[in-house]
Amino acid sequence: MVEFNSPPLDDVFHALGDATRRRMLRHLAGGERTVGELAEPFAISLAAASKHIKALENAGLLRRDIRGRTHYCRLEPGPLATAHEWLGFYERFWTSRLDDLERVLREEAEKTPPTTGDDR
């Protein structure tokens, strides 16, 4: 079972809370990228890109390998699965609530007699 109160889940949602980091993850879904390649689509310095990458790394969402002077990053999908499972609870909750609402509205509609145009 997933520990929903765990700090790693907090780190994942913190990392996903930033649009730049979400876009970096999307790029990583296409395969391994260098830090420079991850920074390229954004108007940010390599230092700023490194801070975003560090947040993703701290959340376990990417793994960084250093080969020579080049840092290569790749997606680690495990923490995303944990976040998806956590969100799934609320998806099931709201689906159930909306199903209940639909049932009540249908029952009310069945109780209400149809109106005709002459009832003005």
Residue 70, in any domain of the structure: yes
Domain that holds residue 100: 1-111
Segment 28-68, tens digit of pLDDT:
999 999 999 999 999 899 999 999 999 999 999 999 999 99
**Exposure b/e, 18-57, CB count within 10 A at least 16 = b:** eebbeebbeebeeeebebeebbeeeeeeeeebbebbebbb
Predicted TM-score (pTM) above 0.75: no
- In angstroms, the CA 116 to CA 97 distance is 33
Segment 5-27, tens digit of pLDDT:
555 899 999 999 999 999 999 99
Domain at 48, CATH number:
1.10.10.10
Residue 117, in any domain of the structure: no
96 or 2, higher pLDDT: 96
The domain tally of the chain equals 1
